[in-house]
Structure 1
Amino acid sequence: MKRIQFDRYGEASEMYMGDYELPQLKSNEVKIKVRAAAINPLDWKQRKGALKLFMSNRFPKGIGNDFSGIVEAVGKEVNNVRIGDEVFGTMDVKHPGAFAEALITPAGYISKKPSQISFSEASCLPIPCATAWAALFIKGNISKRSRVLINGCMGAVGAMAVQLARSKGAFVAGTCSENDMERAKDLGLNAVFNYADKNYWKNIKPFDLVFDTSGLMEPAIGFSMLNPKGKFVDINPTPKRMLRGLFSGKYRMTFATAGMSHLTEFADIAVKESLKAGIAKEIGFSEAIDIITKIEKGEKVKGRVVIRF
């Protein structure tokens, strides 16, 4: 089979389309014929070596995490899906490889795909929804009476956070660029602010949760927007940000892994609330390396990019 892979950590030029033989299926794993795979920033962070302490030492390594497809084989302990099921899910962070004709992943990292959503839409759910869920409901503990601010509301995680919080009835405000403000309103935000306006936050009623999806908000500013029991959730922690935050008592950090056990709930919400995946472009497998390279280098795309197989 073909997959996009790399032989050493480094820049985009390390990626190539190569032949690869899947390992023997373990008892808790599932083999999937890939139908769609969504591109995430995590993909090139892994290839650059940012997470190499958590990844295996073997090369070549695959690239890509979120996918949808059809189950081709199941391990003897797997009971949540059967051969022929349409599913969506993600890879173990230690073993990426969704940009491939087929893959193997633990059964706990997949869920059945609702028939009402496409393979492309389903592939856009796992990491953004899991990250948003962890921030909103595990760390933020929000409810329908909560006031929430999403900094970076038009990114993949931010857009899902807006929709998940609104699905629970929360008041949700968001920040984005001026060019994205009209699109942001379509997500159902109660208020939208231009993040270039440095004073937008000074006359706002305090929030119960400020969720910084971009890593660009100064924690001190985030803390100033909170009510006395409010929380600031960070998904891009650095030693400096963590040090500043931990002394405040309001700082929390989280990652997608904390919310990945809720894939079935994401599927239900995607159908009942019509979650918008925000797909900007669907591309063929042969185009993937070129498009990933362009996005990684800063090419602006107003929405998600999905590889179709």
Structure 2
Amino acid sequence: MKRVQFGRYGGPETMSLGEHTLPELAPGRVRVRVRAAAINPLDWKIRQGVMKIVTGRKFPQGMGSDFAGVVEQVGTDVTDFRAGDEVFGTVEIKKQGAFAEVVDADARLVVRKPASLSFSEAACIPIPAATAWAAIVGAARAQPGSRIFINGCSGAVGSAAVQLALAHGAHVSGSCGPASVASVRSAGVDPVFTYADKASFASNGPYDAVFDTLGTLSVSDGLALLTPKGRFVDINPTPGRMLRGFVSGRYSMVFATAGFKNLQELAGLANEGKLRSSIGLEAPFTDALSIVKNAELGPRPPGRIVLLMRGN
């Protein structure tokens, strides 16, 4: 089968579209014929080597995390799926390879695709929505009446966080770039501020939770926006931010892995229309190298970028 892979850590020049043979399917895994794979910044960050302590130095390595497709085979320990099921899911950091014709994934990271969703829409869910769930439902404990501020509410994680917070009855305000203000406001964020207008979103507080999706809000500034029992939620794990945050006692660092166990709930919300992904570009898998390179180096189109496999 063909997949996007890289032979060493580095820039886009290390990628190639190569042949790969999957190993014998392990007992707890499922083999999926990929129909769509969504691109996440994590994909090229792994290729750049930011996670090399986890991904190691055995090459070539595959690229791609989030996918949707049709089950071809299940491991001997898998009872929840069978060949022909339409599913979506993600793969572990150590076993990337969703930008491929076929992918093997841990069955615990795969759920059935609602019939109401296209393969592209389903592929956009896992990492952004799981991250948002860990932040908004897990750390921020969104509930009716909560006041939540989301810094970067127009991106993939930010828009998922907005929808999850609203679905749990919270009041959401946030910041975004000037070009996104109208669309973010129409999504239910009120009020909406531009990134440069920090004084205004500070005066709109205090908040029960502040979720910084970008890492552009200092921990000190984020903590200053909170109620006495409020929570600053972060997904930007630099040593300085974590040290400053944990000293405060009102800081939470979250990762997508904490939300993967909630993929079924996320699928349900998507099926109900309460969780939607904006798709900015669908491109054929044959153009994957140039599409990933352009997404990495920018500028990127608004909305998610999805690779479509043959047959879509």
Identity of paired residues, percent? 48
Is residue 10–residue 48 contact of structure 1 (8 Å, CA) maintained in 2? yes
Amino acid of the structure 2 residue aligned with 1:210 = V
Which residue type is aligned with residue 297 of structure 2? K
What are the equivalent positions in structure 2 for 1:70-85 lying under 5 Å apart?
70-85=70-85
Tell me how large the CA RMSD over aligned residues is. 1.0
Give the TM-score of the pair, scaled to structure 1: 0.98
Equivalent residue number for residue 41 of structure 1: 41
In structure 2, list runs of 5 or more residues that go unmatched. Answer: none
CA distance in 2, matches of 1:139, 1:57: 34
Question: Superposition pairs for residues 145-294 of structure 1, below 5 Å?
Answer: 145-294=145-294
Partner residue in 2 for 1:7 = 7
- Between the aligned partners of 1:273 and 1:149, the Cα distance in structure 2 is 23
Q: What secondary structure, in the 3-state scheme, does the structure 1 residue paired with 2:53 have?
A: coil
Q: CA deviation at 1:14?
A: 0.3
Partners of 2:167 and 2:274 within 8 A in 1:
no
SS at match of 2:93: coil
1:242 Cα offset (Å): 1.2
- Asked if the contact 2:140–2:209 (Cα under 8 Å) also holds between the matched residues in 1, the reply is yes
Deviation, 1:56, is 4.2
For residue 124 of structure 1, what is the aligned residue in structure 2? 124
* Partner Cα separation in structure 1 for residue 267 and residue 201 of structure 2: 34
SS where residue 202 of structure 2 aligns?
coil
Aligned mates of 2:151, 2:197 — CA distance in 1: 13
Contact 2:8 2:60 in 1 (8 A): yes
Question: How far apart are the structure 2 equivalents of 1:57 and 1:104?
Answer: 20
Assess if the C-alpha contact under 8 Å between 1:3 and 1:19 holds in 2.
yes
Counterparts of 1:205 and 1:286, CA distance in 2: 48
Q: Deviation string for 1:126-162 (max 9, x for gaps)?
A: 0001100001122122212211111000111001000
1:67–1:88 CA contact under 8 A, matched in 2: yes
What secondary structure does 1:76 align onto? coil
- 2:70 and 2:12 map into 1 onto residues whose CA distance is 29
- Check the 8 A contact 2:163/2:274 in 1, yes or no: no
Find the aligned partners of 1:150 and 1:93 in 2 and give their Cα distance: 26
For 1:169, the aligned partner's letter is G
Contact 1:56 1:95 in 2 (8 A): no
Give the CA deviation at 1:250: 1.1
- Runs of 4 or more, structure 1, over 6 Å off, are none
Which secondary structure does the structure 2 equivalent of 1:199 belong to?
A: helix
SS at match of 2:271: helix
What is the DSSP-based 3-state SS (H/G/I as helix, E as strand, rest coil) of the residue aligned with 2:208?
A: strand
Task: Indicate the larger mover: 45-54 or 292-301.
Answer: 292-301
Contact 1:167 1:273 in 2 (8 A): no
How many Å apart are 1:2 and its aligned residue? 0.3
| Alignment partners' CA distance in 2, 1:140 and 1:55 | 30
**Partners in 2 of 1:122 and 1:191 — Cα distance?**
29
> Matches of residues 84-103 of structure 1 in structure 2 within 5 Å?
84-103=84-103
Give the Å deviation of 1:190: 2.6
Name the SS for the 2:210 alignment partner: strand
Q: Within 1, Cα distance between the matches of 2:190 and 2:81?
A: 39
**1:216-243 Cα deviation digits (max 9, x unpaired):** 1111111111000000011012111112
2:197 and 2:144 mapped to 1: Cα distance? Answer: 28
Decide which structure has greater helix share. Answer: 2
Find the counterpart in structure 2 of residue 68 from structure 1: 68
Corresponding residue for residue 303 of structure 2: 303
Which runs of 5 or more residues in structure 1 are unaligned?
none
**Corresponding residue pairs, total:** 309
| Mapped partners of 2:205, 2:101: distance in 1 | 50
Hey, what does 1:113 align to over in structure 2? 113
* Inter-partner Cα distance in structure 2 for 1:204 and 1:191: 8
Partners of 2:7 and 2:61 within 8 A in 1: yes
Matched position secondary structure for 1:72: strand
Asked if the contact 2:266/2:275 (under 8 Å) is kept, the reply is no
Aligned amino acid, residue 70 of structure 1: V
- Checking the alignment, whether the CA contact within 8 Å between 1:31 and 1:74 is kept in structure 2 is yes
Cα distance per residue 1:223-272 (max 9 Å; x no partner) = 11100000001101211111211221111101000000111100100011
